[in-house]
Structure formats: C-alpha cells, structure tokens
Amino acid sequence: DAMVIQNPRYQVTQFGKPVTLSCSQTLNHNVMYWYQQKSSQAPKLLFHYYDKDFNNEADTPDNFQSRRPNTSFCFLDIRSPGLGDAAMYLCATSRGGTVSQETQYFGPGTRLLVL
Amino acid sequence: AQKVTQAQTEISVVEKEDVTLDCVYETRDTTYYLFWYKQPPSGELVFLIRRNSFDEQNEISGRYSWNFQKSTSSFNFTITASQVVDSAVYFCALMGGYNFNKFYFGSGTKLNVKP
C-alpha cells in the first residue's frame, strides 16, 4: 500500500504558468519534505514542514512556495515556472520523533516538464 | 561541514557478479546517521538501511550487506550475486545528530547489471 502518494506522476506546464504538485501521506508523520532532483543529480532539499512550522532552505528560490493544510497533505507551488525548473519533484516524510529513529520515506515523485 | 562522497559515478557488472558501492562521509558531529537509498528508473527513492554512528556492526540482509568503518569514515554497500533488478541509482546519505531534518546526499552511483 502506498504510504507517500504524489499526484500527478507527470505534469506538463507552460513557461510562466503556475503549477501545483501535491503530496499526501498515510503514515501520520509530523515532517514533510520537498526535494528537487535534476537529471543525474542528488535530490536537493527545497523546504520542509515540521507539523505546521515551515522551514525554507536558504537557497530555495522565491518562485517555490509550499502549503500544508493538514497533517496528511502538502503542496508545492511553482509560481512562474522557468525552463530550469523542469525536474523530478520528490516528496518525503519522516516521523519527527527521536533522532535515533528518524528516517525519510519518499513518494514516487512528479516529473515536471516546462514547455 | 557535512559531506558525502560517492566516487563511483557508474558501475557495470554482469549478472551474478558481486559489486561494492563506496560511500565516504565527513562530519564533525559525534552522533550521526547514515543511510542507503535505491532509486530505480521509476524514480522513487526506496529506503534500504539506516546505521547509527555508535553501532559499527556490519549488517546483512539477503544479498545486501553493509560495511561501516568509522576509522575510514566509510559506509560501503555490497550486493552479492547481482541481478538485473538491482539496476538503479544508489544514494548514500548522512544525517547529523542535531539537525535531523537535513539529509546530505552523495551524488549517487548508477549500477548497471547486465544479463
């Protein structure tokens, strides 16, 4: 059973047209993350939510925003996608409890194409 | 500073061969955690193992084994009798003991297992 779900799996958008990617989880984890992964590169953390607390990485462009309306859902909004934003976007969750048990679990990703 | 190095960009083996994927890390934290993830062509990062810095016991899970050596700051991953289904990109990651919402990923090693 899927525990971290991402929709859609593939998204095509036009240059400059806002797009929203969604992530949901059935693990009841406190922490949700968004990563950007470009071809042949490691995932790059954009931001994460610890419960309702939003934590942005210093080098994440303002063009990327996120919302977490409840424990189960988290959204990634790209306000004005550029060609350079074409990538795989990965959502992950972690329990957010004791450090010694902390592990991130990833969804299948959404591959974004910008035309 | 936290850093993970996977020097092998790509490895090709023939089915049934054993293969070792190298991971070297840098951290100043006295407590830290190391991970291996598998990313098949479908894109999802699949969690394989977590190892705590205070537990240097090697681990075996079926055809997979992990060799953790603090003396050389390495956490290597060996696949015994490789199979075509093992073809994927493998990422090693480091999480510090104090900032447990931050993963530092290596650049990944692409493993090609040929029949």
Per-residue pLDDT of A29-58, as tens digits, reads 999 999 999 998 999 999 999 999 999 999
Alpha-carbon span B107 to A41, nearest angstrom: 6
Strands A105-106 and A87-94: antiparallel
Pick the residue from chain B with its C-alpha nearest to A98: B100
Give which of A23, A3, A26, A24 is closest to A11, Cα–Cα: A23
Per-residue pLDDT of A70-80, as tens digits, reads 999 999 999 99
Determine contact: B47 vs chain A, CB below 8 A: yes
Determine contact: B108 vs chain A, CB below 8 A: yes
Q: Which of residues 74-103 of B touch A (CB under 8 A)?
A: 91, 95, 97, 100-103
**What residue ranges of chain B have pLDDT lower than 70?**
100
Pick the residue from chain A with its C-alpha nearest to B32: A100
pLDDT of residue A2: 67
**Mean predicted confidence (pLDDT) in A55-66:** 94
For A40, A95, B59, the CA distances from A30, given in Å and listed in that order, are: 30, 5, 29
Pick the residue from chain B with its C-alpha nearest to A100: B52
Share of chain A above pLDDT 70, in %: 97
